[in-house]
Structure 1
Amino acid sequence: MLSQLSKRPWLIAIAIAVLLLIWLLSGSLFRAREEASADHPVAAPGLAKVEIQWLEASPMQRHLVVQGQIEAWRRVELRAQVSASVIRLDQDKGSRVAAGQRLLSLSADDRPAQVARGEADVRQRETDVNSARRLRERNLLSANELIRLENELAKARAELDSARLQLGHTQILAPFAGVYDDRRVELGDFVQPGQSLLTLVDVGQLKVSAQIAQQQVRALRLGQPVRVQLLDGRELQGELHFIAAAADPGSRSFRVEVKVANPDYLRLAGASATLQISTGEAMAHRLSPALLSLDEAGRQGVKWVNDEQRVEFTPVELLSVDNQGAWVGGLPPRVALITLGQGFVGPGQQVLAQPTEGGS
């Protein structure tokens, strides 16, 4: 064989060239594999792959979101104070009235006469007392007689005041500006003391009441701004006006009231609304609510990957939710959040983390 190759030297040259080419290709392939391994690690057998996205905490305005009930600022049911007949309906239901405006009139009957008799009796008693005092100054009248006359004058004045009060009760006046909301009597009805006549409501401003859990009430302060979102999407601005000093014994929650201006007298009283109470600024992460999960204890949290490529589960506080995402608190300032595959891995498990396409 060697003798044949010695006779053909060109075969030797070809063999050497082939061996050299194989050696060069093997080195390039090895380096390419090393570079590929550096850029895209190959998972060890049984090592789960997950996709991650790096999230940075950012400041956000914290809001406490609760459901509330819109109520009139004031509501009063006016009742009869005397026995009388309804003789005039001075205002129509649904009309706006000013404070002190007459709403309904009852029959006066003999009350004006009682007032007149009382006024005459008071004048007579005053004359008697004045004369008695002059006589007493000259020792022509005993002290006891003067005291008796003064007592009779005081009694006459009290009876006159009562008669005037009874006459005044025949005119039903608005105690405050508002809307004549309901009437329970008609013209000619005879009413008795204590009978309901009409309802007056003040809706120039509204109050929205809600119940706040005992662990959340600590963050509330009077005067905090509140956004009131109606069911039709409209929003009103208000402020926290009242916080109950004691919790409701049944629910262990605290009643709060939000004051909302209603200059256009919108018909909102009795409707429900969502309250967003601003409770200050906090550092939080914004993410998709779909990434939230529960651990074995039922706590709500998210899964992320630490520097050792192991899965961590951190319970979070849901600070705010809207159509675009959720704000959560409780995570490290910078976190590699698992965006794909979190349902197949558990805390402490080592994984191969790869960045989400288009993510950082």
Structure 2
Amino acid sequence: MRIFPIITAAIVMAALFLLVFQRDRILAFASGEMAPVTEQAAPVDAPPAQAEAGIAERRVRVLALHSLAQLADSAILARGQTEAARQVVVKSETSGLIVSEPLRRGAYVTRDQALCVLDPGTRQAQLKEAQARLMEATSRLPESESRLIEARARVSEAEINARAATRLSQDGFASETRVAATIAAVESARAGVNAAQSGVSAATAGIRSAEAGIEAAEREIARLTLTAPFDGLLETDTAELGALLQPGAPCATVIQLDPIKLVGFLAETDVDKVSVGAMARARLASGRETVGRVTFLSRSADPLTRTFRVEVTVANDGLNIRDGQTAELMIATAGKPAHLLPASALTLDDDGRLGIRAVNSESRAEFMPVLLQRDTVEGVWVEGLPDAVDVIVVGQEFVIDGVAVDVTYKDVAQ
């Protein structure tokens, strides 16, 4: 029979017994504060209450920090990507051959800069023809207006003759035939006025038609030059020299990267915490950081992910931020009282809750659960603590609730 496995098992059982049932004694002995049995330990035959009192009087040395609550700006994390502020595919509105040299992708273009120029063909001749029709229609208008004036004069003369004939007929100096003739002359003169007015209207309509023809010809000529709608970069080459463009055919794609948008998506639980105009900090996958403001917050959730689109606009003077880069957004929300503590001060209780161990008014250790707000270079911001608390920053793992502690306070400057 082998004796070593039995000895090993016995040693392990003894170690487990000491760690589980004699933990306080071991911790006190390890801290160097365990007094001789004759002075600190209760008598062997002492009652259990006296024995527990003797153990409670032992104090563990710890280092603590006076912490006061501060109004800390909280933030919500959103992941997304960069997106050009504008992106337009410039397309042709008419047909024609390209007669301009192409611009290569990546070139910077300004607003109204020519991108593609089409061959005018017979469009200049069509413009001249429309201008000639306008001159012809304009020359006809005075003649038509003169005929109208003449026709109105004839009406006045015929009406005078008709009145005179009617009076003479009443006195017996004119026959009925003469009266009827003068009345017929009046009607004929009025018909001439209507005809003259029709001539004036026709001349005016000819002028309007000629003007419309000129405007159409000029607009058709203007469509021959396709220009950039805004300052930006060419994402594609412009159409090649000699290529035939039809209506709707693309000339080039122009994107605007200054300013640029950072697009992220918020969960339903976070969307109400963000408002338009809030400050936001972004970190790109390349390590570059930038700051901007929230300019758009969707009111409608994505039907698949149930998230809400949020857009942050930032300056991009050097065009160093590209379209489609991965971005991590930290969007500021309303500030909350919180404590800035070293990350090493955090611990877990037996139930797995995150918290800290603090020194209460009786100089005993006490576990306090916390809610982690965010992690920074200076430390971690936590919520759920009183406005003022003494946080154990060294030795918190060697004490439990109710253990008496000998506290040394840490200077904030340290």
TM-score computed with the length of structure 1 as normaliser = 0.72
Q: Does 1:123 align with 2:176?
A: no
Q: In the alignment, which residue of structure 1 is the partner of 2:55?
A: 42
Encode CA deviations 1:324-357: one digit per residue, 9 max, x unaligned. Answer: 5432323333457687999999xxx965375798
Note if contact 1:52-1:353 (Cα within 8 Å) is conserved in structure 2: no
Where 1:183 maps in the other structure, the secondary structure is coil
- Relative to structure 1, is the Cα distance of residues 150 and 204 closer, same or farther in structure 2, using a 3 angstrom cutoff? same
Superposed, which structure 2 residues align to 1:83-94 within 5 Å? 83-89=95-101, 91-94=103-106
Q: Which has the higher helix share?
A: 2
Deviation at 1:236, TM superposition (A): 1.8
- For the aligned residue pairs, the C-alpha RMSD in angstroms reads 4.0
CA distance in 2, matches of 1:248, 1:32: 72
SS at match of 1:214: coil
Query: Is contact 2:77–2:331 with CA below 8 Å preserved after alignment?
Result: yes
Write out per-residue CA displacement over residues 166-216 of structure 1, whole angstroms, 9 at most, x where no aligned residue: 221111111111222212632211121111110111223211111223333
Give the distance between the partners of 2:406 and 2:314, measured in 1 at CA: 48
1:76 positional shift: 0.9
Q: Deviations over 1:293-322 (max 9, x none)?
A: 6998x9x74365796979767462x43223
State the 1:231 CA deviation. Answer: 2.1
**Cα deviation per residue 1:14-53 (whole Å; 9 max; x = unaligned)?**
xxxxxxxxxxxxxxx899539xx9xx97269xxxx9x895
1:1-360 correspondence runs (5 A): 32-33=39-40, 42=55, 55-89=67-101, 91-138=103-150, 139=152, 140=193, 141-183=195-237, 185-287=239-341, 288=343, 291=346, 301-302=354-355, 314=369, 316=371, 318-323=372-377, 325-335=379-389, 352=403, 354=405
SS of the counterpart of 2:100? Answer: strand
Cα displacement (A) at 1:228: 2.2
- Cα distance, 1:109 vs structure 2: 1.5
1:264 match: secondary structure: coil
- Partners of 2:392 and 2:91 in 1: how far apart? 66
Alpha-carbon contact 2:296-2:310 (below 8 Å) kept? yes
Is the CA contact (8 Å cut-off) linking 1:80 and 1:194 kept in structure 2?
A: yes
1:240-259 CA-to-partner distances (Å, cap 9, x unmatched) read: 22223333343333322222
Name the larger-Rg structure.
2
Decide whether aligned partners of structure 1 residues 129 and 58 sit closer, same or farther in structure 2, where only a CA change above 3 A counts.
same
Equivalents in 2 of 1:354, 1:273: separation in Å?
47
Q: Which moved more, 1:273-282 or 1:283-292?
A: 283-292
- The letter for the 1-side match of 2:355 is V
What one-letter code is carried by the residue in structure 2 that aligns with 1:206?
I
3-state secondary structure, aligned to 2:272: helix
- Matches of 1:271 and 1:148, distance apart in 2: 64
CA contact (8 A) 2:354 2:370 kept: yes
Contact preservation (8 Å) 1:82, 1:170: yes
> 1:4 — aligned with what?
none
The C-alpha deviation readout for 1:245-282, integer Å capped at 9, x for no partner, is 33334333332222211222224222122222232432
1:78 shift after superposition: 0.3
CA distance in 1, matches of 2:407, 2:340: 16
Q: Structure 2, unaligned stretches of length 5 or more? A: 1-35, 42-49, 153-192
CA distance in 1, matches of 2:148, 2:406: 110
How many pairs align? 318
Identity level (%): 26
- Structure holding more strand per residue: 1
Change (3 A) 1:217 1:355: farther
Gaps of 5+ in 1: 1-28
Between 285-294 and 140-149, the greater mean CA deviation after superposition = 285-294
Q: Is the contact between residue 230 and residue 274 of structure 1 (CA under 8 Å) also seen in structure 2? A: yes
Kept in 2, the 8 Å contact 1:305–1:353? The answer is no
For structure 1, which segment, 190-199 or 176-185, has the greater mean C-alpha deviation from structure 2 after superposition? 176-185
Distance in 2 (CA, whole Å) between partners of 1:263 and 1:273 is 18
Q: Aligned to 1:88, what secondary structure does the other structure show?
A: coil
Using structure 2 for the length normalisation, give the TM-score: 0.63
Distance 1:304 1:205 in 2: 48
Q: Distance in 2 between matches of 1:182 and 1:329?
A: 52
Q: 1:166 to 1:295 in 2, by over 3 A?
A: farther
Structure 1 contact 203–269 (Cα < 8 Å) conserved: yes
User: Counterparts of 1:128 and 1:344 in 2: how far apart (Å)?
Assistant: 110
**Conserved 8 A contact 1:62-1:280:** yes
Tell me, yes or no, if the aligned pair for 2:78 and 2:330 is still in contact at 8 Å.
yes
**2:95, 2:246 within 8 Å by CA — same for their partners in 1?**
yes
